[in-house]
Structure 1
């Protein structure tokens, strides 16, 4: 496990699980502060989601200047080639980070953590990998992200299909040629939109199975020349500062005005400008009350709907893709970014099947049979069916509390955390960009840096005070969980069936899984706890051992 073959795993201060953005950020900052720290990663290389997500069209939905780490050694001599980089360029970014920081010497790849339990006498975790190895770090940092447990629905006969079938998150690293193939795409989330766009360009025919229309926003992609890259570089440090002040961790100017305070012309001009800018400007830069007020939400939905319907020729498809009456409130699900999605439905080689009208009855060796008895033959079936998000990344691992209770069991009746960083009864275990963090509502690198900075400072403070154990109190955990739920109840989020609330997973409790109060408030609350001696946490130390020398017992 360690780079020094003679070192004992007992000497390890911190074990990080996951080598994506948060894992390498913490590795760099903890290592530079003198902690002994290692990373285990289930994938074959760095990148986290960008190792696993290599399906056709996989591309980030945050702008390039936001979707990177603020580590000087990395960003100062790195530039993305476009506004929204694809998975290949993001992998190059991680290779660059490794070259600058020498990350992989402390990372073990192809190593999956399957279990962990806490030794309350030694204040160390016993972490078990898939090969039966046990690692004993003092602290455990779960940097597994919010989407590392793919969800495959229990479709009858799925295993009988004789063609190619993959979930987008488990796409073969060598890729699949879509040219001249008959392709079925199940799901219309971000990955479904992206695969459909790419397949429509080259496939013989592509059919997408839709349950709920998604409100995809225009990406308005841009390719940068050297001059554009230079200008972005000049303002990058400033962008890093600005993004921590925005509720969602972007640098999108925040209007902060209510719809009622603006005239109809002012509203139209505002959103026309946001539409041209593309990306998340429409969802993050408009009326302040879109997530809370139905009237404002209706107006924005109607603006989006009318924009989209103009691009679709078939009246039936207009209503399927952008209904006159909104199926759920705007911006209560993650909004995909699209480039040619709606235009592709005007092509003769594309079909949309509404599974509410014509449900999937089973998968056959040749394709997918629907409720009307028709068998749709495919060469490739793409499962763009999402994830057991936010909590699934941790509950898929057998993590036990000090009382022997699995985390999945504790959270089965409702999510419980303190500050979205720890859970009571699981001392010395942190998690980032996951349960009860800003997560679903925020830009990944911004949110994980804020949380990771808190963790790094916490570990420094514990080390300085000789503390070896930190555990949230049940009271603090209950108060934080109530705060999250109260904030969520003020909004419209629970009116949509999405992974934001766990409603996409059968049997999972529907609840607010992320902190909806915005990044600045979240940061303030975390900092207040630290400034008050880590209020809401119990701190303790391993009792010093007695060493007997002759007849004298000494510490």
Structure 2
């Protein structure tokens, strides 16, 4: 059944997965194990999801290994990582190895875009862009949080005659920047990684910065096969352990809060987290920085002093790490860096402060702010319509023929971040209102130092937890003779409100970020993530599954509503 082109395809399958990234791989593997007939359709030419598409200089994951991998013993027993934070080339090799070990391609159709999904005659009808219709009883959307590229509405962007590229479509063979004038627009994780690499090359690089990226030291290192082989005796415990932590990372967590510590102890905790690298500075330090402005300022001051010491140019230093805090620390997603600040300090790298001189538009030769900056190459590291964009692109209609765009016109509504009202038997993975980029609880959730909201979540434990829930739900449906499983409207509204209520107890609403959908003009400004922890999320979704709380069940006709 596997195919590698966009030829016409029409068939029926019991379960269909849209997306061949981490969710698609794990979903296909587990559904086959449970005896379901299942197929995957993937827009790209191979597995990998975001790692199939992202090939820009320096692209690498910022969740560390061995935690960033699927808990599939058949795979991890024979796989060895080369470094703590693998790059995009190695991640594509990992997906190829998954395919080889699990024989995934035989049930996957690549180069296939679904464009138009509707519920009809008790099943999902999925229209293939270049012809064909795929029908299924169960539909699993593994379309990811970062697929639909965002192009800011810069005036005259189409007039630029140089090379213009979005980071998500960076040429596989790279771009020759030698001797050229290059611009990077966008200062998120991608912008940090691109600048880190290009700034060392023989080019004149201009970086347009609106908001300083509060990046942490990655502390990258090589990993030997010997150390990993020794550690594999604990892999099952480590990888499963991620599901039972707030962040999905089994980091050490201290019970003491900020106000339980002396000033010397606070500094010690922050310094220890900083030196460990990765996101330990967030995960193994007092957590009140997301709810307490005073603590937040202290975290910023610590970060600021660390970064300013690495930048010699005083003008650049004030743009990169301003002495006066400009936004609440951690409310915009931090990135990991290796030598980003040293690269920005290089003489061939110029910084443009967009808060002082915003982009007015493009010309044939470059970018106009208060002056004209001429370029040969412009790289847009402007991110994605995160969380919801890839779902909207499917043009999904519910039982009443209403598009998802219309259903979510006033805000996202899901039940448990897994299902949408009047879209029966359709499940979402790594989805909005789940701990996809973060984590939430109920409206009565009381914030304490031990359970303050998390700013980050490791992807694999979330993906695995949701897929395991979906499989249990499907098996429970089989056992109980349920033909249709649907989310109640009222339950979806309550889930949304719970997320926003907790969000309003934090500092997140005080800043604009993709967490809040604020990076896309016209998008509803709301918390898009469940911010109460991976562990609490697992508890809530499985408790709901025990008695179908919040779901409507249909056996030819509705038999119970809970």
Q: Normalized against structure 1, the TM-score is what? A: 0.94
CA contact (8 A) 2:432 2:529 kept: yes
Q: Secondary structure at the match of 2:111?
A: coil
Match of 1:478 in 2: 493
Match of 2:321 in 1: 322
Structure 1 stretches of 4+ moved >3 Å = 8-11
Candidates 489, 495, 509, aligned match of 2:510: 495
Post-superposition Cα deviations, 1:236-271, rounded to whole Å, max 9, x if no partner, equal 222112211221101221223211000111111111
CA–CA distance in structure 2, aligned partners of residues 291 and 203 of structure 1: 41
CA–CA distance in structure 2, aligned partners of residues 82 and 234 of structure 1: 19
For structure 1, which segment, 230-239 or 447-456, has the greater mean C-alpha deviation from structure 2 after superposition?
Answer: 230-239
Q: Secondary structure at the match of 1:381?
A: strand
Match of 2:44 in 1: 43
CA contact (8 A) 1:9 1:137 kept: no
CA contact (8 A) 1:501 1:512 kept: yes
CA contact (8 A) 1:290 1:296 kept: yes
Post-superposition Cα deviations, 1:277-318, rounded to whole Å, max 9, x if no partner, equal 111000122112221111211111111111001001122222
Match of 2:449 in 1: none
Question: Do structure 1's residue 428 and structure 2's residue 425 form an aligned pair?
Answer: yes
Match of 2:6 in 1: none
Q: How far apart are 1:11 and its partner, in Å?
A: 4.4
CA contact (8 A) 1:116 1:126 kept: yes
Question: Do structure 1's residue 517 and structure 2's residue 516 form an aligned pair?
Answer: no
Match of 1:300 in 2: 299
Q: Secondary structure at the match of 2:368?
A: strand
CA–CA distance in structure 1, aligned partners of residues 233 and 351 of structure 2: 45
Question: Do structure 1's residue 75 and structure 2's residue 81 form an aligned pair?
Answer: no
Q: How far apart are 1:2 and its partner, in Å?
A: 7.2
Question: Do structure 1's residue 179 and structure 2's residue 178 form an aligned pair?
Answer: yes
CA contact (8 A) 2:411 2:524 kept: yes
CA contact (8 A) 1:45 1:51 kept: yes
CA contact (8 A) 1:182 1:203 kept: no
Q: How far apart are 1:495 and its partner, in Å?
A: 1.6
Q: How far apart are 1:10 and its partner, in Å?
A: 6.3
CA contact (8 A) 1:191 1:384 kept: yes
Equivalent positions of 1:147-296 (< 5 A) are 147-296=146-295
Q: Normalized against structure 2, the TM-score is what? A: 0.93
CA contact (8 A) 2:167 2:381 kept: yes
CA–CA distance in structure 2, aligned partners of residues 114 and 257 of structure 1: 51
Q: How far apart are 1:345 and its partner, in Å?
A: 2.0
Equivalent positions of 1:338-353 (< 5 A) are 338-353=337-352
CA contact (8 A) 2:80 2:225 kept: no
CA contact (8 A) 1:183 1:203 kept: no
Query: Residues 74, 368 of structure 1: CA spacing in aligned structure 2 closer, same or farther, 3 A cutoff?
Result: same
Q: Secondary structure at the match of 2:256?
A: coil
CA contact (8 A) 1:180 1:202 kept: no
CA–CA distance in structure 1, aligned partners of residues 376 and 296 of structure 2: 41
Query: Residues 253, 163 of structure 1: CA spacing in aligned structure 2 closer, same or farther, 3 A cutoff?
Result: same
Query: Residues 132, 343 of structure 1: CA spacing in aligned structure 2 closer, same or farther, 3 A cutoff?
Result: same
Q: How far apart are 1:423 and its partner, in Å?
A: 0.9
Match of 1:90 in 2: 91
Q: Secondary structure at the match of 1:146?
A: coil
Structure 1 gaps, min length 5: 544-555
Question: Do structure 1's residue 540 and structure 2's residue 559 form an aligned pair?
Answer: no
CA contact (8 A) 2:39 2:108 kept: yes
CA contact (8 A) 2:435 2:530 kept: yes
CA–CA distance in structure 2, aligned partners of residues 235 and 363 of structure 1: 54
CA–CA distance in structure 1, aligned partners of residues 332 and 355 of structure 2: 19
Match of 1:449 in 2: 464
For structure 1, which segment, 76-85 or 164-173, has the greater mean C-alpha deviation from structure 2 after superposition?
Answer: 164-173
CA–CA distance in structure 2, aligned partners of residues 125 and 241 of structure 1: 33
CA–CA distance in structure 2, aligned partners of residues 509 and 90 of structure 1: 34
Question: Do structure 1's residue 530 and structure 2's residue 545 form an aligned pair?
Answer: yes
Match of 2:138 in 1: 139
Post-superposition Cα deviations, 1:464-487, rounded to whole Å, max 9, x if no partner, equal 222221100111111111111111
Q: How far apart are 1:191 and its partner, in Å?
A: 0.4
CA contact (8 A) 1:472 1:536 kept: yes
CA–CA distance in structure 1, aligned partners of residues 151 and 13 of structure 2: 37
CA contact (8 A) 2:184 2:208 kept: yes
CA contact (8 A) 2:29 2:104 kept: yes
Post-superposition Cα deviations, 1:170-201, rounded to whole Å, max 9, x if no partner, equal 22233323333321000100000100010001
Q: How far apart are 1:324 and its partner, in Å?
A: 2.0
CA–CA distance in structure 2, aligned partners of residues 90 and 98 of structure 1: 13
Q: How far apart are 1:231 and its partner, in Å?
A: 3.4
CA–CA distance in structure 2, aligned partners of residues 184 and 478 of structure 1: 44
CA contact (8 A) 1:209 1:352 kept: yes
For structure 1, which segment, 254-263 or 58-67, has the greater mean C-alpha deviation from structure 2 after superposition?
Answer: 254-263
For structure 1, which segment, 431-440 or 154-163, has the greater mean C-alpha deviation from structure 2 after superposition?
Answer: 154-163
Candidates 382, 407, 412, aligned match of 2:409: 412
Query: Residues 203, 257 of structure 1: CA spacing in aligned structure 2 closer, same or farther, 3 A cutoff?
Result: farther
For structure 1, which segment, 161-170 or 44-53, has the greater mean C-alpha deviation from structure 2 after superposition?
Answer: 161-170
Match of 2:447 in 1: none
CA–CA distance in structure 1, aligned partners of residues 2 and 87 of structure 2: 33
Q: Secondary structure at the match of 2:198?
A: helix
